[in-house]
Amino acid sequence: MSKDVGNIKDGGVVYQENEPAKPVTCKDFLYDPDRGSVLGRTGAEWIRIVAFYLSFYIVLAIFFALYFWLFMKTISYDGPKYYLDDSVIGTSPGLGFRPLSEVHEGSSLIWYNTSSETSHKNWTMSLDKFLEGYKNRTVGSNIVGCDYGNKPGYGEVCAVDVDTWKPCTSANTFDYLNSSPCVFIKLNKILKWEPDYFRNANDLPNEMPEDLKNHIKKKEKEDPKFLDTVWVSCEGENPADKEFIGAVEYIPFQGFPGYFYPFLGVENYVSPLVAVHFKNITRNVLVNVECRAWAHNIEHSRRDRIGLVHFELLID
């Protein structure tokens, strides 16, 4: 209880006692008729609060929209802002292979048992899934048939008819049941990258395999247009692997035809493929395989996996 000074009389002080504060009930909090307040605030107070937060969020939205607009102005819908030498990817593409293990992520081993009717299915199903993007495409729209004398026009892309690559087709289980598996090789896409082809069969790298050199010389005699190819070679990685790998067949070409390049981000574009058919690889032996892509502007680095790819084959 508090006291207020009421008056001073005859040198004394007279105190006036205040009434105790009236407790606020839930009903008064919801609506107080004496103050005209709702939830503890009057109409004028609610108007000030609503006006403050409304102004705050409007300014915040304008600020966000402005910076989002400035950010969108830096984006090109034709492709990334940085590419080739200005990008992290660089100008030397890597190689990839399929099938990949769906059980052991990151594994480069292709291992199955030919005596089992189901052992190969994980690999062939993986290839079927990978090739869906190639099979479900028909010539039409902007997809056209291409060859060395018929390159795609502006806005067009080349068809890849993988169903004709026997025996590396789904109908033949990619020849896995015959202990002659097919492995598909692809060159990773780099926007606006163009290969620098080997256009002189007498000026080839010393480290290029001799059988590939002979193949290039043969193709040059057939038609110099075939030299516009990113060539591919697959060999045993070590001397013992070279002995056990056996004969290798490349379908449909021993490389990626030049009419697939450059990649410009056109809709429906797919990377060209090479089906590598290991015709008589030694069974019950782990074989380390290294495939390389060949062009003047493709570097090779095992450490950085540039221009090549490694995998192992084990057929029991």
pLDDT value of position 107: 86
Report how far residue 195's alpha carbon sits from residue 255's, in angstroms, rounded to the nearest whole number.
Answer: 12
Report how far residue 218's alpha carbon sits from residue 195's, in angstroms, rounded to the nearest whole number.
Answer: 21
Report how far residue 31's alpha carbon sits from residue 169's, in angstroms, rounded to the nearest whole number.
Answer: 79
pTM: 0.74
Q: What is the 3-state secondary structure (H, E, C) of 15-45?
A: EEECCCCCCCCHHHHHEECCCCEECCEEHHH
pLDDT value of position 120: 87
Cis omega before residue 152 (within 30°)? no
Question: Would you say the C-alpha torsion 251, 252, 253, 255 has a positive or negative sign?
Answer: negative
In sequence order, the β-bridge partners of residue 38 are 31, 41
Amino acid identity for residue 71 in this structure: F
Displacement of CA 164 from its chain's centroid (Å): 27
In sequence order, the β-bridge partners of residue 234 are 291
Report how far residue 143's alpha carbon sits from residue 165's, in angstroms, rounded to the nearest whole number.
Answer: 19
Report how far residue 234's alpha carbon sits from residue 205's, in angstroms, rounded to the nearest whole number.
Answer: 16
pLDDT value of position 19: 59
Instruction: For residue 285, count other CB atoms closer than 10 A to its CB.
Output: 15
pLDDT value of position 287: 95
- Strands 95-98, 182-187: parallel, antiparallel or unpaired by DSSP? antiparallel
Place of tokens 């062009």: 295
The residues, any chain, with a CB within 8 Å of residue 36's CB and separated by 6 or more, are 42, 43
Report how far residue 118's alpha carbon sits from residue 114's, in angstroms, rounded to the nearest whole number.
Answer: 9
Q: How far is CA 277 from CA 14, 141, 159, 201, 248, in A?
A: 114, 32, 21, 25, 6
Domain architecture of the chain: domains with CATH? 3-70 (no CATH), 86-315 (2.60.40.1660)
Residue 309 · residue 184 · CB < 8 Å? no
DSSP state for residue 49 in the 8-state scheme: H
Question: Would you say the C-alpha torsion 207, 208, 214, 217 has a positive or negative sign?
Answer: negative
Report how far residue 132's alpha carbon sits from residue 52's, in angstroms, rounded to the nearest whole number.
Answer: 57
Report how far residue 169's alpha carbon sits from residue 313's, in angstroms, rounded to the nearest whole number.
Answer: 19
Report how far residue 239's alpha carbon sits from residue 236's, in angstroms, rounded to the nearest whole number.
Answer: 7
Report how far residue 12's alpha carbon sits from residue 17's, in angstroms, rounded to the nearest whole number.
Answer: 16
What six digits make up the tokens of 156? 């067009």
pLDDT value of position 1: 46
Amino acid identity for residue 212 in this structure: L
**Phi/psi of residue 153, nearest 5 degrees:** -85, -175
Q: Which residues of the chain carry a pLDDT beneath 50?
A: 1-3
